Amino acid sequence: MDISSILGVTPDKGLGLYSIRKAGIIMLTKVMAKELGEYNIRVNGIAPGVIQTSFSEALWQNDSLIKEELKNTPLSRIAPPEEVGRTALYLVSDASAYVTGQTIIMDGGGSI
């Protein structure tokens, strides 16, 4: 399982290199799923949007920036890290036994 970013799917101005790197992780997930599937190895990923971590603290601590971010997020909130953890648990559990090569976008709907 890998962790990418919503920016690997939907780029943002000024973050081109970061977006390219994250898009590469998403493609690596697909390639590895194809190559390892015959061994019954599943490969999936998660592409989170803004998660309330120290990495994104400059965004969610700034009232004007987070207000602008949430304006385009249908769920109108950012997620705590535990939500990414629960998605990861799903992907490594038997509940996702027939899922491979997928990257789950979890961004509160911001990319739609």
- Distance CA(3)–CA(12), nearest Å, equals 18
Active site residue 18: yes
Catalytic residue among 18, 39, 90, 98: 18
The DSSP secondary-structure symbol of 10 reads S
Backbone phi, psi, residue 51, to 5°: -115, 140
- Distance CA(35)–CA(41), nearest Å, equals 9
Q: Which residues are catalytic?
A: 18
